[in-house]
């Protein structure tokens, strides 16, 4: 196999390839851009006009999506998967991937859109570097721009695979809905305010149709059965080959709106939920959800409310959970 077909191996080994550009047998061009970033260009005459950004490993302990992208790259390098669009593969946080930790100094997915300029951390440099790579990738007008940022969650979920869409005043497109249905994604959460995540950065700055996909539990490398992401892999292969996505009208994607963010304001923050409570667990109307310094209290005020990403151990100033409601 071509050396550039082993991006994960190069990244974990902190190795820079001697050949930065290689051609697959079918003419597909692989171009190593920087640590963990590979540009894939289809053969001449095969480009169907889409720029597809696929990212994973923004958090270094979320390994299943990283292994999924590596499987796709192996198939491209072997000529089994034939790209018909430009693809930028991004392994987001190489330093954290090497340590098998969520991040080294700061959550990378809270540093985009210029936030990295005011926070001194290892991840700030990486956020700036990734913003530069994105700017170089999305240069040509008139092309379809897609960004799928692949993650896994820290805890179990009552809806195992779900998506988050950055803040937008546009309705969900038929293309995004087909992506969700083809991949078997169970729910879509619509953000209602700007954020400093990678997908929000590309959506706001480059008008991408962007989604953050949560694809199960965060497990160590080698502990992720490929079959669990087979449907997602099928969807990504169809996107890479510019095939039409069949969707599945019989697959209901539940829609949720984010009603509130729980922000941890001080070390005194307390979340009144069990540590093993799964994502999308229902919340009792009127119950006390969290408390913080200066008398801050969060009560459950919405009927049908559920909790997503509860984590009282985040750093002060970061999100400790989302309260979502059916939309």
DSSP letter for each residue of 52-92: EEEEE-SSTT--HHHHHHHHHHHHHHTTSS---SEEEEEE-
Instruction: Kindly list the distances between the CA atom of residue 284 and the CA atoms of 187, 190, 210, in Å, as whole numbers in the listed order.
Output: 21, 22, 32
Classify residue 248: in a domain, yes or no.
no
Catalytic machinery residues: 214
158, 99: one domain? yes
268, 211: one domain? no
86, 152: one domain? yes
Distance CA 142, CA 175 (A): 17
Work out the pLDDT band at 95, boundaries 50, 70, 90.
very high
Total tally of structural domains belonging to the chain: 2
Classify residue 307: in a domain, yes or no.
yes
207, 91: one domain? yes
288, 162: one domain? no
pLDDT tens figures, 233-263:
999 999 999 999 977 777 789 999 999 899 9
**CATH number, domain containing residue 43:** 3.40.630.10
Q: Which of 207, 240, 273 is the last residue of a domain?
A: 240
What's the domain range around 188?
3-240
Distance CA 163, CA 209 (A): 13
Classify residue 250: in a domain, yes or no.
no
**CATH number, domain containing residue 290:** 2.40.50.630
Global pTM?
A: 0.96
pLDDT tens figures, 165-198:
999 989 999 999 999 999 999 999 999 889 999 9
């Amino acid at each position: 196999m071509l050396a550039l077909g082993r991006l994960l191996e190069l990244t974990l080994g902190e190795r820079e390839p001697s050949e930065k550009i290689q051609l697959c047998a079918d003419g597909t061009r692989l171009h190593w851009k920087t640590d963990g970033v590979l540009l894939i260009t289809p053969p001449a005459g095969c480009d169907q006009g889409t720029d597809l950004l696929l990212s994973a490993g923004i958090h270094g302990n979320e390994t299943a999506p990283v292994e999924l992208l590596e499987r796709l790259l192996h198939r491209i390098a072997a000529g089994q998967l034939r790209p018909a669009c430009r693809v930028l593969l991004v392994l987001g946080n190489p330093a954290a991937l090497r340590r098998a930790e969520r991040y080294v100094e700061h959550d990378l997915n809270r540093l985009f859109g210029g936030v990295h300029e005011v926070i001194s951390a290892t991840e700030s440099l990486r956020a700036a570097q990734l913003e530069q790579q994105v700017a170089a990738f999305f240069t040509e007008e008139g092309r379809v721009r897609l960004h799928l940022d692949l993650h896994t969650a820290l805890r179990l979920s009552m809806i195992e695979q779900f998506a988050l869409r950055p803040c937008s005043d546009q309705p969900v497109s038929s293309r995004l809905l087909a992506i969700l249905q083809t991949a078997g994604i169970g729910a879509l959460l619509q953000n209602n305010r700007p954020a400093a995540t990678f997908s929000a950065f590309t959506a706001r700055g480059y008008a991408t149709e962007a989604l953050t996909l949560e694809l199960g539990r965060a497990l160590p490398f080698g502990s992720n059965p490929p079959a669990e992401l087979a449907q997602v892999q099928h969807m990504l292969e169809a996107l890479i080959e510019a095939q039409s996505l069949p969707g599945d009208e019989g697959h209901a994607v539940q829609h949720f709106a984010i009603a509130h963010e729980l922000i941890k304001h001080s070390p005194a923050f307390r979340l009144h939920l069990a540590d093993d409570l799964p994502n999308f667990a229902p919340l009792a109307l009127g119950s006390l959800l969290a408390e913080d310094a200066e008398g801050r209290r969060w009560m459950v005020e919405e009927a049908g409310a559920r909790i997503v990403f509860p984590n009282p151990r985040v750093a002060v100033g970061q999100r400790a959970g989302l309260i979502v409601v059916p939309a």
